[in-house]
Amino acid sequence: MKTLVIAEHDKGVLKPETNKTITAAVKLGFDVDLLLAGENLSAMSEQAASIAGVSNVLIADDAAYANQLAENLADLVLSLADNYSHIVASATTTGKNFMPRVAALLDVAQISEIIDVIDADTFKRPIYAGNAIATVKSLDSKKVITVRASSFDIAQEQAPVAVTSVTGKGSVGLSEFVSEEQTESERPELTAAPVVISGGRGMQNGENFALLNGIADKLGAAIGASRAAVDAGFVPNDMQVGQTGKIVAPDLYIAVGISGAIQHLAGMKDSKVIVAINKDPDAPIFQVADYGLVADLFDVLPELESAL
């Protein structure tokens, strides 16, 4: 029995979610191979081979995998699946996209977004927006699993292991990449940042999000948002924290002008310390906050920035 982890990368850099997914994969108790599919992978392959717990790195270098299109990537994983009892990827938008396709092609169920490994067949995963935790046992011979990266630690480094090339069919001809539009940001990535400061509808407009910049700079924080702030057009949607956005678990989460709807809490309630700043003392966010400040955010934010 062996485990195959599919690496996730962007612009020639392995994503931190990959390291955390390897931590989860190691817990299954078998050798872990890491598949790196894309284009121009040589620099990344060294990095991949140095993640503690990886026994072997498989490289599939083909333009068809450059944008990690689900149809092509699923076909490649399927071609390697015979050698593995467990196939694992992180529950990012890429992993969520191609993994169920792999599972269906293998005729097995997928276990989505696990937050804990009990044994090689049994896992914990949140359901109902995190309001319940299900313990589930896979009855399939092959397990296809996606991992909620925020629930696992980052893997350490090791002396590099062997790297082998593999080839797949390339493009299966169902889809083509047209374009992408990335949100520019110099701040740490939301899902990996140790501190996150998020604004909600209480920010009133997009310009006011600038009030968070100074604080984020001083704390080395990423800036997030509630769905209300995204839907109101204050900020782009990849900043959304919640059930349908990103799931974060930083050391410190500061919620500013966020009421704390179920869907938002699903994305941040595993943060180590939660601070809520809201002028409504009855806002549900105060029920999960370690430290609450009932005050107008427009008074508090400049004060907080200068106090740091």
Partner 1 sequence: MKILVPIKRVIDYNVKARVKADKSDVDLANVKMAMNPFCEIAIEEAIRLKEAGTATEVVAVTIGNKSSQEQLRTALALGADKAIHIETEEKLESLHVAKLLSKIVEQESPELVILGKQSIDSDNNQTGQMLAALTGRGQGTFASKVDVQSGTVNVTREVDGGLQTVALKLPAIVTTDLRLNEPRYASLPNIMKAKRKPLEVIAADSLGVDLAPRIQLVEVNEPEKRSAGIIVEDVATLVKKLKTEAKVI
Among positions 245-284, residues that touch partner 1 (CB under 8 A) are 246, 251-252, 262-263, 269, 272-275, 281
Question: What's the min distance (Å) between Cβ of 224 and partner 1?
Answer: 13
Known binding residue 224? Answer is no
6 DSSP β-pair partners: 35
Stretch 201-220 residues interacting with partner 1 (CB under 8 A): 219
Tell me whether residue 137 or residue 169 sits nearer to partner 1 (CB atom): 137
Known binding residue 101? Answer is no
Give the closest residue to 274 by CA, choosing from 286, 261, 262.
Answer: 286
Known binding residue 240? Answer is yes
For 234-256, give the secondary structure using H, E and C: CCCHHHEECCCCECCCCCEEEEE
Known binding residue 226? Answer is yes
Cα–Cα–Cα angle for 229, 114, 261, rounded to 5 degrees: 25
Known binding residue 86? Answer is no
Question: What's the min distance (Å) between Cβ of 291 and partner 1?
Answer: 6
Tell me whether residue 46 or residue 290 sits nearer to partner 1 (CB atom): 290
The tokens for 307 are: 């106090």
User: Binding mask 121-160 vs partner 1 (x if CB under 8 A, - otherwise)?
Assistant: -x---xxxxxxxxxxxxxxx--------------------
* CA dist., res. 32 & res. 232, Å (int): 44
* CA dist., res. 267 & res. 259, Å (int): 14
Question: What's the min distance (Å) between Cβ of 92 and partner 1?
Answer: 5
Known binding residue 97? Answer is no
Question: What's the min distance (Å) between Cβ of 281 and partner 1?
Answer: 8
Question: What's the min distance (Å) between Cβ of 151 and partner 1?
Answer: 12
Number of Cβ atoms within 10 Å of the Cβ of 174: 10
Tell me whether residue 155 or residue 300 sits nearer to partner 1 (CB atom): 300
Known binding residue 262? Answer is yes
The tokens for 125 are: 């995963």
Taking the C-alpha atoms of 152, 275, 133 and 112 in order, what is their torsion angle to the nearest 10 degrees? -50
Stretch 85-114 residues interacting with partner 1 (CB under 8 A): 92-94, 96-105, 107-113
Stretch 163-202 residues interacting with partner 1 (CB under 8 A): 173-183, 191, 195
What is the SS3 assignment for 197? strand
Please give the C-alpha separations between residue 6 and each of 38, 73, 78, 83, 186, in angstroms, as whole numbers. 11, 10, 12, 14, 27
Known binding residue 244? Answer is yes
Q: Count the residues of the shown chain that bind partner 1, applying the rule CB under 8 A.
A: 89
Question: What's the min distance (Å) between Cβ of 171 and partner 1?
Answer: 11
H/E segment holding residue 291: strand 291-294
What is the SS3 assignment for 54? strand
Phi, psi (deg, nearest 5) at residue 94: -70, -50
* CA dist., res. 279 & res. 283, Å (int): 8
User: Binding mask 2-41 vs partner 1 (x if CB under 8 A, - otherwise)?
Assistant: --------x-------------------------------
Enumerate the known binding-site residues for FAD.
201, 226-227, 240-244, 257-264, 278
Enumerate the known binding-site residues.
201, 226-227, 240-244, 257-264, 278
